[in-house]
Amino acid sequence: MNNDDLFLARAIELAQNGSELGEGGPFGAVIVSDGKIIAESWNQVVVSRDPTAHAEIMAIRQACAAVDRFHLPKSTLYTSSEPCPMCLSAAYWAKIERIVFANTRAEAAAIGFCDDQLYSELNRHFSARSIIMEHHPMPNGLLPMQQWANNPQRTPY
Amino acid sequence: MNNDDLFLARAIELAQNGSELGEGGPFGAVIVSDGKIIAESWNQVVVSRDPTAHAEIMAIRQACAAVDRFHLPKSTLYTSSEPCPMCLSAAYWAKIERIVFANTRAEAAAIGFCDDQLYSELNRHFSARSIIMEHHPMPNGLLPMQQWANNPQRTPY
């Protein structure tokens, strides 16, 4: 086994353990930096009653806590399945360098997960989505953004 | 002011307070159920060193903790700015009914936030994204998904 195989095998093992315990869906993830695992997690939506507790989100939060930074450059996310758009976006925000996944979104769809559909939803204009979305501009709405942009002490992320 | 104005004004106030304190970007959100605010939050990426700590994600997690469920049907997410794809996907996973936002992703792009670009990235084939992505099927990769699908005690979410 090469390293990619080893780390993916661990992600799959975490997926299996977590779902056997009833903690959530059958998904696991590890984050590797400098050849070492710095975070490993699994889907905990059910046990934590947290819809954002996907394996990848949990692993990213854990890895950032471990390094005490909100970016994870030069790290790889190994995940048992192709990330949903929430988790993929989180990987971008975290500046993860590389993602390796075993199963596809089509394979997840075959057992009832809507990841594939969610990618299509996100690609629609906000007025054409299944979730009701309304743009409601406010008189002072832009003020916090303008103040942030003009603050020399701001921390971009 | 009608209720939408009131709840959006609160989201904008949270955006301003949070970013003035240096806790993160200038973004705030509240979640309303049965006419009452059940969660309010703001971007805390910087203070918590957590790239997933966007206002909407934090508000969804807080609202789910408040009701002790991983779904928020019949609830509305008020957010100072159009959600990024991470936060919008989280709203879908949480089964939020309606989203009302004041500022647009173009207005966020104007002060340096990449939300708009992220929507484009997600719409590309995985091999054409700026993040390196590799599909690496594993011999036993589908096993956890098959076991989950065949488990009559599973909890869909």
> A8-28: per-residue pLDDT in tens?
999 999 999 999 999 999 999
pLDDT at A106 over 90: yes
pLDDT of residue B105: 95
Residue range A137-154, pLDDT digits in tens:
999 999 999 999 999 999
Q: Which residue has the tokens 């996100």?
A: A122
The total number of residues shown for chain A amounts to: 157
Q: Which helix (H) or strand (E) holds B100?
A: strand B98-103
Find chain B residues with C-beta within 8 A of A60's C-beta. 51-52
Q: What is the mean pLDDT of residues A119-131?
A: 96
Helix (H, G, I), strand (E, B) or coil at A140: coil
pLDDT of residue B2: 85
Bridge partners of B134? A100
- Dist CA B138 CA B67 (whole Å): 39
Q: Which of B49, B51, B122 sits opposite A88 (nearest CB)?
A: B122
pLDDT of residue B10: 98
Q: Which helix (H) or strand (E) holds B7?
A: helix B3-20
B51 and A60 in contact by Cβ < 8 A? yes
B138 and A71 in contact by Cβ < 8 A? no
Residue range A52-71, pLDDT digits in tens:
999 999 999 999 999 999 99
Nearest to B98 by CA among A43, A153, A135, A66: A135
Q: Where are the alpha helices (DSSP H) in chain A?
A: 3-20, 45-48, 55-67, 85-93, 105-110, 115-122, 143-149
pLDDT at A1 over 90: no
Q: What is the mean pLDDT of residues A125-138?
A: 97
Residue range B75-93, pLDDT digits in tens:
999 999 999 999 999 999 9
Based on the residue annotation, tell me whether B56 is a catalytic residue of this protein.
yes
pLDDT tens, per residue, chain B with 157 residues: 689 999 999 999 999 999 999 999 999 999 999 999 999 999 999 999 999 999 999 999 999 999 999 999 999 999 999 999 999 999 999 999 999 999 999 999 999 999 999 999 999 999 999 999 999 999 999 999 999 999 999 999 9
CB A77 within 8 A of CB A31: yes
pLDDT at A32 over 80: yes
Give the pair of three-digit tokens for residue B125: 């084939």
Bridge partners of B133? A99
B152 CB neighbour count, 10 Å cutoff: 4
A9 and B80 in contact by Cβ < 8 A? no
Mutate to test the interface with A, among B20, B138, B146, B150 (most CBs of A within 10 A): B138
CB A66 within 8 A of CB A47: no
Q: Which helix (H) or strand (E) holds A76?
A: strand A75-81
To the nearest whole percent, how much of chain A has pLDDT over 70?
99
* Opening angle at CA B77, ends A43 and B42, nearest 5: 80
Q: What is the pTM of this model?
A: 0.97
Give the pair of three-digit tokens for residue A55: 């394996």
Phi-psi region of B138 (alpha: psi -120 to 50; beta: other; left: phi over 0): beta
pLDDT of residue A151: 95
Q: Could you say which DSSP state residue B72 is in?
A: -
